[in-house]
Chain A
Amino acid sequence: MSRAALLVLADGRFPAGGHAHSGGAEEAVKAGRVTDAASLADFCRGRLHTTGLVSASLAAAAAAGTDPAALDAAADARTPSPALRTAARRLGRQLLRAARATWPGAELDALARRFPKGAHQPVVLGLVARAAGLGPLDAAYCAAYESVSGPATATVRLLSLDPFDATAVLARLAPELDRVADRAVEAARRVADEGVDALPAASAPLLETGAQAHAGWPVRLFAS
């Protein structure tokens, strides 16, 4: 395996559609919950330990070889908001397209055939990590990092926040990212014996209801 593949996959410029999504930040900004670097840090921390942990666990389990259909159903069960399910599937489909061109292989082709309209993005991410020769921990790191880097980048655009401050928020979260990635891999390990119910189901109700409200806005910068 090449560890450098992780840099390619985790690069914010990897062309898999993430740039059009704010991870709930646009709604939180409009609602006045994110107004500056400090509230962005709170938002990201909350997202990391809920959506981030769940996504990282799904990605780690997929990278470890768990059946993607079972994981996709588990992701649905952990995503009450239809708008978020749609966004996750759309991003999964876009990631799969980019990955099939960058790390071609039978497993990704099979996934595309099985989910022509997309599987949940973290599940795809885990299989992409596999295709890139990476392991469950790498996949977990990617998913956990994306859960906070997306909102941070979006907030720079939404609030004209100082990009140095937004990046500092991400840097301060690094130790917590380590812990979330470790917990995710631990949960994914238990899936072999206990099934997908062993995966965390931490939820963030405000992200879910906010995503539903956001989907109905007539004017918005981000798709979610």
Chain B
Amino acid sequence: MHLDHTHDGPAALGADARRPDGTRRALRIGLGGPVGSGKTATVAALCRALREELSLAVVTNDIYTREDAEFLLRHAVLPPERITAVETGACPHTAIRDDISANLEAVEDLEDETGPLDLVLVESGGDNLTATFSKGLVDAQIFVIDVAGGDDIPRKGGPGVTTADLLVVNKTDLAPYVGSDLGRMAADAEAQRGGLPVVFQSLRSETGVADVAAWVRARLAAWTA
């Protein structure tokens, strides 16, 4: 018995770039980060920014409710059949990193039922600074922190801050009120991340999610190239 992956099976198993019918699957981008940092708000803004030019869908991983999925539904950022909530048994980091089977099912079902898709955004429920996505689930990950969580978070590092493909420092509009030093956050982030990109954004500002949307477009261009 040979124990390597077989690619000729009836349904996809993991992260293979090709679906069983030979077509390229959607790019999968994960969004993780601490509770309340603005992951759902970023997902919603990305959907609004990209939905005219791309076919997209969202998977949410809530801790004990369907709040994130319901927020996206209520604000009608996408049609309901393009939003799926995965239940995580109180452990979002398990569902996005250690045991990704439910999330893989969700992204594949979305693609089967509403596809073809260009992009699937997978939001993790708010977790701690060590929560990262498995490479078996997503192709790239965005780690979202905010200025109100303390301007020492970039300095503290942790797998999310140091290794995410994109670090987003959100809610810059609040910096003056919480006494966060954006210059120091930027310097610490750069030191921790060795050249990986960082975006400072306020979803309350004119620019909003534009920088993150541009980064997503670039990833997508690389994926389909």
A residues sitting closer than 8 Å to B (CB atoms) are 13, 15-22, 90, 93-95, 97-98, 100-105, 109-110, 112-113, 116, 133, 154, 157, 218-223
A133 to B104, CA, bound (A): 27
B45 at the interface (CB under 8 A from A): no
Q: Is the interface of B mostly helix, strand, loop or mixed?
A: loop
Interface size class of B (residues with CB under 8 A): 20 to 34
Q: How far is the CB of A101 from chain B (nearest CB, A)?
A: 5
Q: Known contacts being A94-B101, A104-B6, A112-B10, is A19 close to B94, with CB within 8 Å?
A: yes
Contact between chains at B91 and A104 (CB < 8 Å):
no
Q: How far is the CB of A21 from chain B (nearest CB, A)?
A: 7
Determine which of A18, A110, A218 lies in contact with B65 in the assembled complex, contact meaning CB atoms within 8 Å.
Answer: A218
Q: How far is the CB of B138 from chain A (nearest CB, A)?
A: 16
A163 to B88, CA, bound (A): 20
Q: Known contacts being A17-B99, A94-B101, is A103 close to B3, with CB within 8 Å?
A: yes
User: Please, which residues of chain A bring their CB within 8 A of the CB of B66?
Assistant: 218
Contact between chains at B89 and A19 (CB < 8 Å):
yes
Contact between chains at A101 and B90 (CB < 8 Å):
no
Given contacts A20-B87, A100-B9, 17 further A-B contacts (CB under 8 A): A13-B98, A15-B99, A17-B101, A19-B94, A20-B95, A21-B89, A22-B89, A95-B101, A97-B101, A103-B1, A103-B3, A109-B6, A112-B9, A113-B11, A218-B65, A221-B64, A223-B89
Q: Known contacts being A221-B90, A223-B89, is A104 close to B104, with CB within 8 Å?
A: no
Q: Known contacts being A101-B13, A104-B5, is A19 close to B105, with CB within 8 Å?
A: no
User: Please, which residues of chain B bring their CB within 8 A of the CB of A110?
Assistant: 10
Contact between chains at A221 and B89 (CB < 8 Å):
yes
A55 to B96, CA, bound (A): 28
A103 to B6, CA, bound (A): 10
A101 to B4, CA, bound (A): 8
Contact between chains at B3 and A157 (CB < 8 Å):
no
Q: How far is the CB of B68 from chain A (nearest CB, A)?
A: 13
9 A-B pairs in the complex with CB atoms less than 8 angstroms apart: A19-B95, A19-B98, A22-B89, A90-B105, A101-B14, A103-B3, A110-B10, A219-B64, A221-B63
